[in-house]
Structure 1
């Protein structure tokens, strides 16, 4: 008597093995769009899967790069690896690549190029879309005090940024002391790993992708120089801490010096440590009294080895390096000796932009 249940079970197992083999033997030709250090992490991982160094899960039989110029991270890496580099703008010919991969590229890709890839194009974006569509999602998450962010892999759609279907997402916690620059490198690594997971079974992830929610849509616009401006009279110490952690390493953090020149503020001492100090005692020692409601008051703290500024909330923030036009970068002690000590005390700097 034929055991149909056994036959069916064996057939099902054989199909599973075949599917796994197909998955393991996935081979793709990929065109990569990128330009900066964030995108470089994904390109590096892709290059590890080229046919000359095959993987058990994925083989890339061809990898070419589209970038904006010859001077960026991606272009230099591609040339060192012997990858073909195309300069933007360029339009892809039909049936040239299986898939386009876009990471931190910042340009809208034309519809024909997207259609001319067998599987279209996908994008690695450092936020939990639809939150923070745009070019600065990491900085906005830190500035807004979010407790988590993440990475999304989505399809590329024509004419608009970051609106595609979601293939996969991964959440990442943000601590109250996290800096954007550290989160930037962390998300680049996580995003590249999430990308590779999707590529190992691209047909599955594309067929199971989901539309972005229409709720919770927000935008992260390009940074402007003025975003790094500190106004002691209107900003609390907590706000300045968020601005510094969000924007440092991306745009200058600065205030007005007494002559109106921008004073660049660097190496901020952790705000969570400085609030614990007895600032009233130090004020009495330096000035002979406590100056309440004097935002912009400046003094040197030898214990922290930093220049300190009083904020709107009567709390202090401290910086260990500063820079003025024509003088370059200085330690806090050098700035104190060369500039602060030569002014009439108490020294209070104000917003010259009113």
Structure 2
């Protein structure tokens, strides 16, 4: 029996290979056609593999669609050449093994003090369409949508003193809510989810919430 796995095995064995590839900042992934071993997962001999580039802004749905197409094409080729493919099957290398366990909603909780801006943006991309990033503001649960990595900006906030991780600011010229990360760089979001409301714009979140709080207390936890 054959299986199509959405990674270049033995990297990212497990239930969520695409998510972990994006989350860890991989620039390349792919699909693997392999034999299935009874009672074991993702360890069978490899019949075929094909690579796929991961761009810096790829999200989970985008990459999943490309890999699904690539996998169907490769499987068709493998079946067409099945006797030869089986003869050329090779054991997986014993080096470069990584694991991709299933993710849960708790994976989406942002640790502002621990993660740099690229790691948080990668987390957003990896969970896009599955879980929104989650944080709290003044005890209020917040969901973050439409993430970006803004260009470095020198302004009064960063020029005078670098804010602590989690500090949140509405950047009026670009219309985004930006949050300070552990590396002293920003990650930005265009829309915000608050309880019992549809997602609102960054400007509406500023007007309804941030503007009512002292600047020093504008922090995501």
Alpha-carbon distance between aligned partners in 1 of 2:25 and 2:41, rounded to the nearest angstrom? 24
- 1:268 and 2:144 equivalent? no
Alpha-carbon distance between aligned partners in 1 of 2:38 and 2:22, rounded to the nearest angstrom? 29
Shift in Å, 1:276? 3.0
Shift in Å, 1:349? 1.9
Higher gyration radius (CA)? 1
Alpha-carbon distance between aligned partners in 2 of 1:292 and 1:213, rounded to the nearest angstrom? 46
Shift in Å, 1:179? 2.4
Unaligned runs of at least 5 residues, structure 1: 1-120
Alignment of 1:210-289 (within 5 A): 210-259=90-139, 261-269=140-148, 271=149, 274-278=150-154, 280-281=155-156, 283=157
Alpha-carbon distance between aligned partners in 2 of 1:130 and 1:314, rounded to the nearest angstrom? 35
Shift in Å, 1:143? 1.6
Unaligned runs of at least 5 residues, structure 2: none
- Does the CA-based 8 Å contact 1:293-1:312 persist in structure 2? no
- Does the CA-based 8 Å contact 2:152-2:185 persist in structure 1? no
- C-alpha offsets along residues 176-213 of structure 1, whole Å, 9 cap, x if unaligned? 33323211111111011001101112222123211212
Alpha-carbon distance between aligned partners in 2 of 1:231 and 1:128, rounded to the nearest angstrom? 29
- 1:301 and 2:171 equivalent? yes
Specify which of 61, 67, 77 is matched with residue 197 of structure 1. 77
1:293–1:332 distance in 2 versus 1, CA, 3 Å:
closer
What is the aligned-residue RMSD (CA, Å)? 1.8
Alignment of 1:1-354 (within 5 A): 121-259=1-139, 261-269=140-148, 271=149, 274-278=150-154, 280-281=155-156, 283=157, 290-351=160-221
Please identify runs of 4+ aligned residues in structure 1 that moved more than 3 A: none
Shift in Å, 1:328? 2.7
Q: TM-score, normalised by structure 2?
A: 0.92
Q: SS in structure 1 opposite 2:62? A: helix
Q: SS in structure 1 opposite 2:209? A: helix
Alpha-carbon distance between aligned partners in 1 of 2:45 and 2:100, rounded to the nearest angstrom? 19
Alpha-carbon distance between aligned partners in 2 of 1:227 and 1:341, rounded to the nearest angstrom? 30
Alpha-carbon distance between aligned partners in 2 of 1:290 and 1:319, rounded to the nearest angstrom? 23
